[in-house]
């Protein structure tokens, strides 16, 4: 089965609402590629103006995080109900920065993933090893564990529709992109792990992105790999370069 590529920007804590509108206006004419699902995951406060600005284009707007409860006394958190009401279809879950600075764990990632599915939002589930783990040769073991916990109690049908982002932590925002072979090796191992948890059809359907210093020059080779179905793009999604990444095959 041919999987459609999905290329997502992750703006992180960048762009005020008015800057968001300006950037989307710039990107709109640059991201026309019918082979790719194009998504921008933006700060919560930017979601509504970004949706408005993206109207009539192929850009979808996603969220960068979500809480695992629907409402209540959780000051500062964003509920799945709020995302659904705003028209959000995708949410990044468990980005390594959330894990490092905001104490997210594999267990909270799993709760958020389940909640997102419950509300019909597709999670982009992040995983990735540190440099030490890579040097110790435990990358695949570590990522298999992250994946197994993230997918606890997730059904095969839900898993088939999910997106996983493999982001080696040492490659995020460092300009040090993983080699094509390294990225493909881990994405393939992730797909095999999904195959073990579920079945071949689910492994075949799930989309796996690579993330970590993706640029217009590294994108074509990365996205041509058999197990890499697109990218999660940080820094380069804040500029017109994102258009060249989306049009990597043109």
Considering only residues 27, 162, 172, 183, which one is a binding residue for ligand PGA as defined by CB under 6 A? 172
Told to check if 164 binds ligand PGA by CB under 6 A, we report no
* R_g over Cα of the chain: 17
Of 204 and 215, which CB lies nearer to ligand PGA in the complex structure? 215
Nearest residue to ligand PGA by CB is 234
**138: helix, coil or strand?**
coil
Query: Is 104 marked active-site?
Result: no
Contact (Cβ atoms closer than 8 angstroms) between residue 158 and residue 196: no
State both tokens at 226: 């058999």
Of 167 and 227, which CB lies nearer to ligand PGA in the complex structure? 167
Place of tokens 């500062």: 76
**248: helix, coil or strand?**
coil
22, 52, 95, 221: the active-site residue: 95
Contact (Cβ atoms closer than 8 angstroms) between residue 20 and residue 71: no
Q: What residues have CB less than 8 Å from 238, skipping those under 6 apart?
A: 9, 11, 14, 15, 23
Of 63 and 236, which CB lies nearer to ligand PGA in the complex structure? 236
22, 100, 167, 181: the active-site residue: 167
Residues in the interface with ligand PGA (CB under 6 A) total 13
Told to check if 62 binds ligand PGA by CB under 6 A, we report no
Query: Among 107-115, 199-207, 217-225, 231-239, which window interacts with ligand PGA (CB under 6 A)?
Result: 231-239
State both tokens at 96: 């390594």
Query: Is 167 marked active-site?
Result: yes
What is the distance between the alpha carbons of residues 102 and 235, in angstroms, rounded to a whole number?
20
Q: Which residues are identified as catalytic? A: 95, 167
Q: Using CB under 6 A, list all residues that contact ligand PGA.
A: 10, 167, 172-173, 211-214, 232-236
């Amino acid at each position: 089965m041919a999987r459609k590529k999905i290329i997502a920007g992750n703006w992180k804590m960048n762009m005020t609402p008015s800057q968001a509108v300006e950037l989307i206006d710039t990107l709109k004419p640059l991201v026309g590629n019918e082979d790719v699902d194009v998504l921008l995951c933006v700060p919560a406060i930017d979601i509504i103006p970004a949706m408005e600005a993206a109207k009539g284009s192929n850009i979808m707007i996603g969220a960068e995080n979500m809480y695992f409860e629907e409402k209540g006394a959780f000051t500062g958190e964003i509920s799945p109900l709020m995302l659904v009401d705003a028209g959000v279809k995708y949410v990044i879950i468990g980005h390594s920065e959330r894990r490092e600075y905001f104490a997210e764990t594999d267990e909270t990632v799993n709760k958020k993933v389940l909640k997102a599915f419950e509300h019909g939002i597709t999670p982009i589930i992040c995983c990735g090893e540190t440099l030490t783990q890579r040097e110790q040769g435990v990358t695949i073991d570590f990522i298999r564990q992250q994946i197994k916990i993230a997918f606890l109690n997730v059904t095969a049908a839900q898993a088939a529709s999910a997106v996983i982002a493999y982001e080696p932590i040492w490659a995020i925002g460092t300009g040090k992109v993983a080699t094509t072979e390294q990225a493909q090796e881990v994405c393939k191992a992730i797909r095999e792990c999904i195959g073990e948890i579920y079945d071949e059809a689910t492994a075949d359907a799930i989309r796996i992105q690579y993330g970590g210093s993706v640029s217009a020059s590294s994108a074509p080779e990365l996205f041509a790999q058999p197990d890499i179905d697109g990218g999660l793009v940080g820094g380069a999604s804040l500029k017109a370069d994102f258009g060249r990444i989306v049009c990597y095959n043109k």
